[in-house]
Amino acid sequence: MSDASALEVQAASAATGTLGRLQRAWDSDLAYSFRHSPVAVVSAIIAFVCVASAWGAPWIAPHNPFDLASLDLMAGDQPPAFLSGGTWTYPLGTDNQARDVLSAILYGARISILVGVTAIVFALTVGIVVGLVAGYLGGWVDAALMRLADVQLTFPSILVALLIDGIIKTALPRNLADAVQIYVLIFAIGIARWPQFARTVRGSTLVERGRDYVLAAQVIGLSTPRIMVTHVLPNVLGPVLVLATLNLGLAILDEATLSFLGVGLPSTEPSLGTLIRVGNDYILSGEWWVVIFPGFALVMMVLSVNLLGDWLRDALNPRLR
């Protein structure tokens, strides 16, 4: 999300004055605040590099770590190129099966981002629906839904995700569980984060419900679902979208943590967390690069998304202007 806005801003800077629309975007308060925040610009660039290189992994990765035929077992356990014994064929070294660490990171980041983004979109959808329904309908529906959110918020989200993931996988037959693993993971991480979104949307919906335009819509006889979706929803989206950006980094970390614990993605389909788990078995023999580089990539990605989220929150908060 923040990447999209960052892109827009970059595009806008290239086409200043040519198109009215881009000009307006460039002049907006948000773009002004972005240009004058070095932290936001730098983290946007890092996030953009992360996303672009992950998306382009099949084209820019020097090797395909999953093509078993291309692996040269003689090249296993090579240190990074800048250490003695390393070669530029494998810039960040190789693991014990001669997989190129850089390529594995690029492919892994792809999966990490995919899972993180889908999980947040899922949590956002559930949260918006629940929050709108609870806030607009009120009464016992509101009480029941919010009580449920309270109960879930008592537990740390990583624990909820872990238990849900474990339960679903146990309940499914073995081969089916393996096939749908990534969906189970997305579901578990998403469902662990819906209550915050639901609470935020409910809060804004309660405010909007009493406004005149909603009353007017009720008076002309629009159906309740229609009022909720076309009238209230656009007005409550802002804060929850900022919250989603702030949660994206956390969701990526959730995925990495679950994969590290061994309940996430298998090593045939490794995310950054899986790479760190697998590499962790080899650090006692001194192969630090197998763990440190994926870890560094993960931290850079999460940090840049978090800083962008912080900036967006501050920039959109009128009280801080």
Partner 1 sequence: MLAFIAARVLQAIPVLLIVGLISFALFAYVGDPVLIMLGQDYTAAQRVALEHKLGLDQPFLVQYAQYLWAILHGDFGISYRLARPVGALFVERLPATLELAFTASVFALVVGLPLGVYTGIWRDSWLSRVAMTVSLIGVSLPTFLIGILLILIFAVKLEWLPSFGRGDVVHIGFWTTGFLTLSGLKALVLPAITLGLFQMTLIMRLVRSEMLEVLRTDYIKFARARGISERGIHFGHALKNTLVPVITIVGLQLGAIIAFSLVTETVFQWPGMGLLLVQSINVGDIPVMSAYLMLIAVVFVTINLIVDLLYFAVDPRLRMTRMAAAR
The yes or no reply on residue 320 touching partner 1 (CB under 8 A) is no
Phi, psi of 114 (to 5 degrees): -55, -50
Site for partner 1 in 61-120 (CB under 8 A): none
Site for partner 1 in 119-178 (CB under 8 A): 147, 151, 154-156, 158-159, 162-163, 165-167, 169-171
Q: Which is nearer to partner 1, 196 or 205 (CB)?
A: 196
What are the tokens at 167?
A: 């339960």
Q: Which is nearer to partner 1, 118 or 259 (CB)?
A: 259
Q: Count the residues of the shown chain that bind partner 1, applying the rule CB under 8 A.
A: 36
Residue 136, classified by CB atoms within 10 Å of its CB into exposed (0-12), middle (13-18) or buried (19+), is buried
What are the tokens at 10?
A: 């970059």
* CA 112/CA 94 separation, integer angstroms: 20
Whole-number minimum distance, CB 296 to partner 1, in Å?
Answer: 9
Q: Which is nearer to partner 1, 2 or 204 (CB)?
A: 2
39 CB neighbour count, 10 Å cutoff = 12
Beta-ladder partners of 100: 94
* CA 298/CA 296 separation, integer angstroms: 5
Q: Which is nearer to partner 1, 51 or 253 (CB)?
A: 253
Nearest to 252 by CA among 112, 124, 151: 112
* CA 224/CA 212 separation, integer angstroms: 15
Q: Which is nearer to partner 1, 197 or 260 (CB)?
A: 260
Residue 297 contacts residue 102 (beta carbons within 8 Å) = no
* CA 50/CA 304 separation, integer angstroms: 9
Q: Which is nearer to partner 1, 13 or 280 (CB)?
A: 280
Query: Can you give the C-alpha Rg of the chain in angstroms?
Result: 23
Q: Which is nearer to partner 1, 158 or 316 (CB)?
A: 158
Q: Which is nearer to partner 1, 284 or 320 (CB)?
A: 284
Whole-number minimum distance, CB 253 to partner 1, in Å?
Answer: 5
Please report where in the chains the tokens 């629009």 appear, as a residue: 222
Whole-number minimum distance, CB 135 to partner 1, in Å?
Answer: 22
Residue 36, classified by CB atoms within 10 Å of its CB into exposed (0-12), middle (13-18) or buried (19+), is exposed
Whole-number minimum distance, CB 248 to partner 1, in Å?
Answer: 14
Phi, psi of 260 (to 5 degrees): -65, -40
Site string for partner 1, 266-305 (x = CB under 8 A): ----------x---x--xx-x-x--xx--x--xx--xx--
Whole-number minimum distance, CB 123 to partner 1, in Å?
Answer: 18
Binding site for partner 1 (CB under 8 A): 147, 151, 154-156, 158-159, 162-163, 165-167, 169-171, 253, 256-257, 260-263, 276, 280, 283-284, 286, 288, 291-292, 295, 298-299, 302-303, 306
